[in-house]
Amino acid sequence: MKIEYVPKRFRAESLQMIERVNQVIEEYQEKGYDLTLRQVYYQLVATDLIPNSERSYKNLGTLINDGRLAGVIDWNSIIDRTRSIRGLRSDENPQDAIRRAFAHYRLDKWKNQPYHIEVWVEKDALAGVIGSICNDIDVDYFSCRGYTSQSEMWRAARRLMYYEQKGKETVILHLGDHDPSGIDMSRDIIERLNLFGASPEFKRLALNMDQIETYNPPPNPAKLSDSRAKGYISQYGHSSWELDALKPEVLKALINDNVDPYIDQDLLQETKFQEKEDISLMDDLQINWEEVQEFLEERGYE
């Protein structure tokens, strides 16, 4: 949705940048992903259209803001995952509620599986992309938002222990930045989960050096103010890399390839068949709701 609120005249180079921004937006939308300003920025940095600096990031934010106000960039294209309205939704009538229920009905594909898997991502800005990927394969995901708070880590451990007590093997697949804190967060997660009594299998999926060598994301200077910088620099040098720079299709392949070996396909097909049968029954119910209502009223149900 492009709406002009404030007429603006852009220089030729700004118009060229807006055109490239819209191309990035279209690429993400065609693949079913929304994106943040940070993700747009890294796609432009990766193609050498803008320098990798804080000033460049701020300038891009200003340009996108002006482009939206001028009606040349879609208002729905870039989202802020930290701010949104919340509330309860309502239905017009029981038939509407049943229609909505069967449209969103699903069985837990992992209920009868031998494993319980969770994908953890360091950054809340990537929760939308990771969530879309995980929803497609019915895997739970968790946004750590940096170092996870003690209370949330305790809750996570209790959740994992619940599945472990039911006889399941638990697995954490972690994605984070390749920088002093991002690397250390993987250590922190497993140590605190173990402290609170959980014993999951832990895999750091990204960002790792082999992926950096393969995809060549734009580097950033390692933060010298980070208390973990000295150890990081001694092992990896002065550059660091952000997870945001990887394209969604790379993240999708990475997650799918690591989840697939844990799936018992026979059990999965059984669950999918039952889900299909349930949805068909609910569909019949909402289509014939008037007859169902009449049937119930005849028997004294009001």
- Shared domain for 202 and 146, answered yes or no, is yes
Residue 150 within any structural domain of the chain: yes
Residue 277 within any structural domain of the chain: no
The per-residue pLDDT for 250 is 94
The per-residue pLDDT for 39 is 86
The per-residue pLDDT for 147 is 94
Residue 180 within any structural domain of the chain: yes
With a CB cutoff of 8 Å and minimum separation 6, the contacts of 171 are 115, 116, 117, 118, 200, 201, 202, 203, 262
- Shared domain for 43 and 142, answered yes or no, is no
- Shared domain for 119 and 51, answered yes or no, is no
Residue 186 within any structural domain of the chain: yes
Residue 18 within any structural domain of the chain: yes
The per-residue pLDDT for 48 is 82
Q: What would the pLDDT profile of 81-134 be if each residue is shown by its tens digit?
A: 666 566 667 777 777 777 777 777 888 899 899 999 999 999 888 888 899 999
The per-residue pLDDT for 302 is 60
| Residues of the chain scoring pLDDT < 50 | none
Residue 299 within any structural domain of the chain: no
Distance CA 21, CA 89 (A): 34
Domain count, the chain: 2
In angstroms, how far is CA 279 from the centroid of its own chain?
A: 27
CATH number, residue 154 = 3.40.1360.10
Domain enclosing residue 41, as ranges? 12-69
- Shared domain for 54 and 138, answered yes or no, is no
The per-residue pLDDT for 81 is 64
Distance CA 291, CA 172 (A): 48
- Shared domain for 231 and 135, answered yes or no, is yes
The per-residue pLDDT for 160 is 97
Peptide bond into 281 cis (omega under 30): no
Residue 176 within any structural domain of the chain: yes
- The model's pTM is 0.78
